[in-house]
Amino acid sequence: MNKYPLWKNLLILGVILGSLLLASPNLVSQDPSIEITAARGSDVTESSVGEVKAALENAGVPFKDVELREGAKLLVRFADSGNQLKGQEAIEQSLSERYRTALTLSADLPGWMRALGLKPMNLGLDLRGGIHVVIDVDIDAAVDQALERYLGDARTQLRDNKVRYLSVSREGGSVVAKFSGAEARDAGAKVLGREFRDLTLQSSQEGDQYLLKLSLPEAEQKRIKDFALEQNITTLRNRVNALGIAEPSIARQGERRIVVQLPGAQDPGRLKEILGATATLEYRLVDTEASVADALEGRVPVGSRLYYERDGKPILLKRRVIVTGDQITDASAGFDSQSGSPAVFVNLDTAGARRMLDMTTENVGKPMAVVFIENRTTTEKVDGKPVKKTRKVEEVFSVATIREPFGKRFQTTGLESSEEAHNTALLLRSGALAAPIQIVEERTIGPSLGQDNIDQGLLSVVIGLALVMVFMGLYYRVFGMIANLVLVLNLVMIVAVLGALGATLTMPGIAGMVLTIGMAVDANVLIFERIREEIRFGNSPQASIAAGFDKALSSIIDANVTTLIAALMLFSFGTGPVKGFAVTLTIGLLTSMFTAITCSRAAINLLYGGKRLKTLPV
């Protein structure tokens, strides 16, 4: 009685060893580091390692290692945070045009751990330090912008279809077109109803004027607001990626706010520059008649302008802009149906589509370029002191040949890879913010405060664990020591699962761990008390062990399932810190059921299973 088969013992042992392996990276020390990514138009390669080393050596800044990582990133490790800050200043002064730097912490994992893909838990903003920003998005302005576009488009449609009208103007949240007669109004209703299917069209009469009122339904207003918020999130995410910060968190909060959390970042001024930077796109025709060589010598044609592609190659473009980024309504990456090469599919609004159709009809077979325009901030040394300056950067990142006339929807080919197509689609969608933003809350948490949080959080876990272990050892003797063993194992499994899932540990998460300690040992208390009760009823020790685990199982499941439901509700409706608590609590509940029921039973079976016993040390 009370024996597990060999396969079950081996399975439990495998889970324990796997948990220890997954949790082991968290024992490795964290080095102050700098994460380096390429600025737009540059690449991070093996030669970049030498450039960074040379910059640090010339500045006399000692460093531990420079490592080229996956995802085109460099990681520079330092022995202390002082050298980390000096290293960032040296890299920015020497290589700011080509690279972006960000302060971070990086675990000094041995080679075998990296080979197995092991990594420590991600630490949240309150533990690691960093910047927390809450941004308010003016989504009402997005609706106003949409109405302004509809206003211009309505005029264009009526004029192109030769419908005579008195005026087209904004009146509150609607576009109103006025006509001199019912016949003209009906013709206008036909044209506008066909073009603006998503709008509500109402006819009316005021005196001798006949009116058409275009209004945005509630559903369409909500779609415009949601689209503006999501596009702003994508735009901000692209801009934050320029900082090269590891594990940034950019999430929607409510109907109009965005929460940006940047673990490890300590420069709020730079963050504001990135978030508030203006960026836009322009489509222009390539000047194939003039000489680029003459343009480089200063002889630029009157109707053209000299630009540079991302690789530094000069190119002449027409000054006349076809369409701009604010006329792009959507963009997605895909593949050309004929060649199978990567492509980007772009949708334009009505005005942009008309202009694009006219220009492409006249210029079939000629190349067209996409120009990305951005205000970029760099650090320069003035009088021996680093000074940040903002300059306007205009670069051509895509040139494609016009195969046939197109207007509202078209595709851009000539891209090198599907990844470039995806990035281009993001730039086209998110080159400019869809609605104005305002930073309404900003908090900076220093690394020392984050370390204090870690130290105090660990202290709370250790004290809670120690008190529980002392009580269990004194009250339940040998069985209590077994409970203490599986309690430690439970914490190891929680850490292992958090690391394997890539979850982020926060202070509320540590609170969830402390709560899990009490709930985990509670299951063992139920089992041990049931075993005591069976012994008092006169059952044999072996039968009492079996009955204790079997009869306590339903109570343990009931208690954990009800708590699990509460944890899931916290995760579903809570915000960041509450979600962190819910995640840790959920994982702790699942691991505690496994350790309390399965692992403690296996340990007791190994010690007492199949033996003739007169008493139990419980």
Instruction: Give the tens place of pLDDT for each residue, 94-132.
Output: 776 667 777 777 777 887 887 888 888 777 777 766 778
- Other Cβ atoms within 10 Å of 385 Cβ, number: 7
**Cβ neighbours for 432, distance < 8 A, ≥ 6 positions apart:** 235, 278, 279, 280, 281, 325, 326
SS3 assignment, position 297? coil
Distance in angstroms (rounded) separating the CA atoms of residues 510 and 373: 45
Query: Do residues 260 and 135 lie in contact, with contact meaning Cβ atoms separated by under 8 Å?
Result: yes
> Between 541-573 and 600-608, two packed helices, what is the crossing angle to 10 degrees?
170
In degrees, rounded to 5, the angle at the alpha carbon of residue 511 between the alpha carbons of residues 507 and 516 is 145
Classify residue 289: in a domain, yes or no.
yes
Classify residue 123: in a domain, yes or no.
no
Tokens of 579: 């979600």
Q: What is the mean pLDDT of residues 561-576?
A: 82
- Give the pLDDT score at 359: 87
**Cβ neighbours for 352, distance < 8 A, ≥ 6 positions apart:** 323, 324, 327, 328
Residue 19 sits in the same domain as residue 35: no
CATH classification of the domain holding 191: 3.30.1240.20
Residue 416 sits in the same domain as residue 501: no
CATH classification of the domain holding 296: 3.30.1360.200
Q: What is the mean pLDDT of residues 399-414?
A: 79
Domain count, the chain: 4
Residue 373 sits in the same domain as residue 423: yes
Classify residue 97: in a domain, yes or no.
yes
Residue 97 sits in the same domain as residue 179: no
In terms of Cβ atoms closer than 10 Å to its own Cβ (0-12, 13-18, 19+), residue 441 is exposed
Q: What is the mean pLDDT of residues 287-312?
A: 85
Helix or strand (DSSP H, E) at 519: helix 507-536
- Give the pLDDT score at 15: 92
Q: How confident is the model at residue 239 (pLDDT cuts 50, 70, 90)?
A: low
Residue 17 has pLDDT above 90, yes or no: yes
Classify residue 241: in a domain, yes or no.
no
- Other Cβ atoms within 10 Å of 190 Cβ, number: 12
Residue 16 sits in the same domain as residue 50: no
Q: Pick from 220, 237, 261: which residue ends a domain? A: 220
- Average per-residue pLDDT for the chain: 80
- pLDDT tens digits for range 503-539: 777 778 888 888 887 777 888 888 888 888 888 888 8
Q: Pick from 431, 461, 487: which residue ends a domain? A: 431
Residue 350 sits in the same domain as residue 483: no
Q: How far is CA 194 from CA 183, 187, 224, 384, in A?
A: 17, 11, 20, 65
Residue 525 sits in the same domain as residue 551: yes
Residue 27 has pLDDT above 60, yes or no: yes
SS3 assignment, position 604? helix
Distance in angstroms (rounded) separating the CA atoms of residues 45 and 53: 13
Tokens of 67: 């490592």
Query: Do residues 108 and 77 lie in contact, with contact meaning Cβ atoms separated by under 8 Å?
Result: yes
Q: Give the whole-number percent of the chain exceeding pLDDT 90.
A: 3
Residue 83 sits in the same domain as residue 181: no
Q: How far is CA 574 from CA 51, 443, 474, in A?
A: 46, 20, 40
Helix or strand (DSSP H, E) at 292: helix 292-296
- Indicate the DSSP class of residue 407: -
- pLDDT tens digits for range 148-170: 778 877 887 888 888 888 888 88
Q: How confident is the model at residue 432 (pLDDT cuts 50, 70, 90)?
A: low
Q: Give the whole-number percent of the chain exceeding pLDDT 70.
A: 84
Residue 26 has pLDDT above 80, yes or no: yes
Residues composing the chain: 618
Number of H helices, E strands in the chain: 17, 22
Residue 165 sits in the same domain as residue 102: no
Distance in angstroms (rounded) separating the CA atoms of residues 351 and 152: 8
> Between 6-23 and 447-501, two packed helices, what is the crossing angle to 10 degrees?
150
First to last CA, the chain: 18
Q: What is the 3-state secondary structure (H, E, C) of 436-498?
A: CEEEEEEEEECHHHHHHHHHHHHHHHHHHHHHHHHHHHHHHHHHHHHHHHHHHHHHHHHHHHH
Distance in angstroms (rounded) separating the CA atoms of residues 134 and 438: 9
Distance in angstroms (rounded) separating the CA atoms of residues 579 and 501: 15
Residue 554 sits in the same domain as residue 406: no
Phi-psi region of 43 (alpha: psi -120 to 50; beta: other; left: phi over 0): beta
Classify residue 504: in a domain, yes or no.
yes
Classify residue 114: in a domain, yes or no.
no
SS3 assignment, position 65? strand
Domain that holds residue 205: 140-220
**Cβ neighbours for 156, distance < 8 A, ≥ 6 positions apart:** 350, 351, 354
- Give the pLDDT score at 10: 92
HSE (CB half, 13 Å, CA atoms) of 410? 24
CATH classification of the domain holding 40: 3.30.70.260
Residue 387 has pLDDT above 70, yes or no: no
Query: Do residues 123 and 505 lie in contact, with contact meaning Cβ atoms separated by under 8 Å?
Result: yes
Rounded CA Rg of the chain? 33
In degrees, rounded to 5, the angle at the alpha carbon of residue 415 between the alpha carbons of residues 410 and 419 is 105
Residue 426 sits in the same domain as residue 474: no
- pLDDT tens digits for range 324-373: 776 777 777 788 777 777 877 888 888 888 888 888 888 888 888 888 77
Query: Do residues 313 and 306 lie in contact, with contact meaning Cβ atoms separated by under 8 Å?
Result: no
- Give the pLDDT score at 190: 87
Residue 216 sits in the same domain as residue 318: no
Q: Pick from 372, 400, 431: which residue ends a domain? A: 431
Q: How far is CA 287 from CA 230, 271, 284, 413, in A?
A: 36, 38, 9, 19
Q: How confident is the model at residue 14 (pLDDT cuts 50, 70, 90)?
A: very high
Choice among 249-253, 340-344, 366-370, 434-438 with the minimum mean pLDDT: 434-438
Q: What is the mean pLDDT of residues 557-565?
A: 87
